[in-house]
């Protein structure tokens, strides 16, 4: 199994989960673009958003919202951005579905698209 996120899912690579439900979990990104930069990742190996079955939609939103609440509280942030890269042309480097979550503060000058 070559997929780095599948290795995190099956425990081959250790991770500290921020939140999880049956089909999604969240962790801090290894390369923090802003303090608290997190990833919401599917437990099954889906590649893009288009592969996510409709009946998992509410669990995906649940994982994003709960992670955002935890990170915003933990980092004293005020808001957040979510970014989801789909396909290499759109900047997807890890071909296992994930959503970036960037906690934001006023005037933080974060450059989340670099």
Annotated catalytic residues are 98
The interface partner of residue 31, options being Zn ion, ligand 5GP, none and the CB cut-off 5 to 8 Å by kind, is ligand 5GP
> 61 vs 90, which CB is nearer to ligand 5GP?
90
To the nearest whole angstrom, how small is the minimum distance from the Cβ of residue 37 to ligand 5GP?
A: 7
The DSSP annotation for the chain comes to ---HHHHHHTTSS----SEE-SSEEEEE-SS-SSTT-EEEEESS---SGGGS-GGGHHHHHHHHHHHHHHHHHHTT-SEEEEE---SGGGT--S-S-EEEEEEE-TT----TT-
Q: According to the binding rule CB under 6 A, does residue 1 interact with ligand 5GP?
A: no
Q: Assess 40 for contact with ligand 5GP (CB under 6 A).
A: no
């Amino acid at each position: 199994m070559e997929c780095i996120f599948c290795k995190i899912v099956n425990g081959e690579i250790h991770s500290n989960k921020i939140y999880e439900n049956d089909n999604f979990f969240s962790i801090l990104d290894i390369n923090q673009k802003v303090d608290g930069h997190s990833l919401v990742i599917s437990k099954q190996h889906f590649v893009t958003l288009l592969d996510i079955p409709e009946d998992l939609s509410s669990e995906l939103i649940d994982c994003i919202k709960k992670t955002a609440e935890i990170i915003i509280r933990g980092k004293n942030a005020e808001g957040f951005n979510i970014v989801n890269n789909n396909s290499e042309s759109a900047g997807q480097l890890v071909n296992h579905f994930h959503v970036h979550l960037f906690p934001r503060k006023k005037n933080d000058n974060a450059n989340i698209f670099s």
